[in-house]
Structure 1
Amino acid sequence: MGWTYNTDDNVPTTGPLITGVCVSLTLLSLITVCLRAYVRIGLLKAFGVDDAIISVTWFCAAGFAVVTIVQTKWGLGLKNIDDLPDENIFNFGLVQYMGAPFYITSILGFKLALLWSYLRFIPKGLYRNVTIGVIISTILHSCAFLIVQVNLCQPISLQWDPTITEGSCLPGVPFYTSMASLTIVFDVIVMGLPFPILLKSRIQNRKKLVLLGLFGLGLFITVIQIIRIQTVKQLANRLDSAPLILWSAVENNLGIIVANIPTLAPLVKYYNEKSQGSNQMSGYANHKTTGSRYANGTWSNRTPKAMELGSTHDATEMGSFEGHIVKGGDADSTENILEGPGITKRVEVVITRNELRS
């Protein structure tokens, strides 16, 4: 028996390829989720809403991968429609119907995780309200997509039961094309939201470019959406959905990876410092005895120098992130940008009093 149930060994299919892609990308995204959890729980002691969202998102993406692999056993990946056994059609359609909610929720999940992480460093005001508006719009778009998808045919079972002769379905190509187009719009908005804030920030140009590059990786997801639109236009029969489903598996796992990469910067910093000389290791050990500095939610451990009594100082702008104060240039670390509630100003005023001697 071949890869597909009820077929011969010589029947051509891309089922093994689809399975390999789904397994490898799902495992890769799982690694990034685990690393993110280690950073947020083990190093920063600051597991947040966006971390919980991306964890749930991975399970949705994994569910879509499992459903896709199962579907290859019922015919997904076959080259010729004539090779699809009649007894496979029911299960083929039913499994494909089951996969749609997993895909839609996984696509929504990694966008929500990114948007929620933006709220960590976007200050209160118009731009923050815009971000919240994008969050709401993204949720509404995905809910509308899901509702229409699961009710694409009336009766619903018409989507997988070939014995039903009465009923109707919405045209698949226009629906998927319009949804994919709207998804591209939301992808561009979500990935581009942090750019104005980062461009206006006062961090070092090198680190600014790194951060912009990390967030810019998300634009590659837009390229995948464009490829998916091309595969949608080729839908003529059941088997034509194979490229569409394959690129969907690539999209949701890549989205999870992109959402996790910016949060892994403290891990690189941590092991970089750990590998340095004994002085750095000694300093780290001292911090560990009094409470790890990573638990403060920032890489930086520099504090303002003590001001001499009786001296005067200019007001200094300070960046405060999660209760840890960093001065000027120290506020440009990746974790500071991503984890803080916003960039604030703090002015320290030292008042001294000279007592008159009698």
Structure 2
Amino acid sequence: MSPEDRSLWLKQPAMPAPPGVKPDFENPGNNFSYAFPMYLVVFIISNSVFAMKIFTQIRLIKQMRLEDWMLAAGWLVYAFAFFPFGTMACYLPVGVHQWEMLNERYMRNMFVYSLTFPAYGIIMIFVKTNILLQYARIFVPTGMRNFTWWGAHLLIGLNVLFYTGYTFAVILMCIPRKKFWDSTVEGGKCLDWVVLLATGNSITLVSDLLILLLPQRVIFKLQLTRSKRIGLSLLFIIGIFACLSSTIRVYYHIKLLHTRTDNTYYLAKIAFWATCQLTSGFLVACLPAAPVFANHLKTKGWAIRVASSVRSLLHVSTLARSEATGDNQITTIGGNKHKHSVRVRQATDREFEELVQKTELSSLASVSRTEADTEQPLKRHEPV
């Protein structure tokens, strides 16, 4: 194609509009106003739990295990590759129907999405390996080779093989790579990238389900405290959300597979749910360290002062409402005939502060002794 013909082609619509639809190429529909804030929120959540996990391992447990290094590697790819590429996608603009853009904008869209595919595969290798290694350490007694241990290591091997192959496949699905986003490139060849992505995400869904179900047999047999059961239930719910995200991605892949049109619209949906899935993975990988981190906060004076301040504010607010509504009168048994005003001595702010601090310190010591006594039998099951 000559330079003149290419210039004309770049100004042509990327896809014919549906009957009765008049495309607006200058101001197409843009989902940036809510897409980028949501993307930023899930990025902050992932970074927060990762920082908590690494702080717990380095400062509190003082040990970085193999799975922790795997998680750190996955976070590096997430923070310095996937997040910048996702931000670029939000500014394309994102979620625009293909018939509302010219070829030059369509090429930019497809180029950015092509960058996210391998980054996603690399992150999945590290995050899923981290989760499965934690399974083998937490739910399997030291030195034992039971069903959970073999299942975890088998899934590690299969996931590493699959996502490694997937990553190379999406990198090399067009030779030269430019042919993926620029159909004017002469020569070369491309795989059917729609089938490739749909197959890859279907296998990802199966992998997510197997990882979710693997430890359930062991968990049901554990004798756990109520708080630990709640924590495991929370992780289970997050795991279900990850599977739900994969399911929705499969749905949009199937839609794209059937239509073979409107690539930019469907890829935006797929990319959004991929981000949700990655966030769920970081939550499942990092939240087992939350109890150790929470116990650390309980020993900090500033945390006690913050808790005391919050309780003081709540007390003052409740007292103000009671005085405003006249709730300081108590009615005796017998109805409204006999009401007696009760004068209650109000503690000063200083007295209340001293009382709260004493109560916090004594409660903290009691909780620490109780947890030490009750947690000893379950030491091998303690998630870190």
The reply to whether TM is greater than 0.5 is yes
The aligned amino acid for 1:126 is N
Any conservation in 2 of the 1:191–1:216 contact (CA below 8 Å)?
no
CA distance in 1, matches of 2:87, 2:241: 25
Q: Structure 1 residues 163 and 32, CA, compared in 2 at 3 Å: closer, same or farther?
A: same
Matched with 2:383 is 338
CA distance in 2, matches of 1:207, 1:30: 24
Q: Does residue 60 of structure 1 match 2:77? A: yes
CA distance in 2, matches of 1:168, 1:268: 55
1:47-102 Cα distance to aligned partner (Å, 9 max, x none): 22222222222232232121122133334322x32332333344333222222111
- Please show how residues 85-104 of structure 1 align to structure 2 within 5 Å: 85-104=102-121
Q: 1:164 aligns with which of 164, 182, 185?
A: 185
Any conservation in 1 of the 2:125–2:164 contact (CA below 8 Å)?
no
Q: 1:250 aligns with which of 270, 273, 276?
A: 276
SS in structure 1 of the partner of residue 255 of structure 2? coil
- Please show how residues 101-250 of structure 1 align to structure 2 within 5 Å: 101-121=118-138, 122-123=140-141, 124-127=144-147, 128-204=149-225, 207-208=228-229, 210-235=231-256, 236-240=261-265, 241-250=267-276
- Please show how residues 279-290 of structure 1 align to structure 2 within 5 Å: 279=362
CA distance in 1, matches of 2:70, 2:103: 40
Q: Give the % identical residues.
A: 18
Q: Structure 1 residues 208 and 68, CA, compared in 2 at 3 Å: closer, same or farther?
A: closer
Structure with greater proportional helix content: 2
Q: Unpaired segments of 5 or more residues in structure 2? A: 1-23, 305-358
1:236-286 Cα distance to aligned partner (Å, 9 max, x none): 2331211111111121122112221122111223334665643576799xx
1:212-252 Cα distance to aligned partner (Å, 9 max, x none): 44244212101111101111123223312111111111211
SS in structure 2 of the partner of residue 30 of structure 1? helix
RMSD: 2.9
The aligned amino acid for 2:245 is I
SS in structure 2 of the partner of residue 142 of structure 1? helix
Any conservation in 1 of the 2:25–2:100 contact (CA below 8 Å)?
no
Deviation at 1:202, TM superposition (A): 3.5
Any conservation in 1 of the 2:70–2:126 contact (CA below 8 Å)?
yes
Any conservation in 1 of the 2:173–2:190 contact (CA below 8 Å)?
yes
Q: Does residue 81 of structure 1 match 2:129? A: no
SS in structure 2 of the partner of residue 163 of structure 1? coil
- After superposing the two structures, state which structure 1 stretch, 217-226 or 237-246, moved more: 237-246
SS in structure 2 of the partner of residue 120 of structure 1? helix
CA distance in 2, matches of 1:170, 1:201: 48
CA distance in 2, matches of 1:210, 1:28: 18
Q: Unpaired segments of 5 or more residues in structure 1? A: 1-6, 285-292, 294-298, 303-327, 340-358
Q: Normalising by the residue count of structure 2, what TM-score does the alignment of the two structures yield?
A: 0.68
Q: Normalising by the residue count of structure 1, what TM-score does the alignment of the two structures yield?
A: 0.72
Deviation at 1:137, TM superposition (A): 0.8
The aligned amino acid for 1:64 is F
Any conservation in 2 of the 1:60–1:106 contact (CA below 8 Å)?
yes
Any conservation in 2 of the 1:35–1:264 contact (CA below 8 Å)?
yes
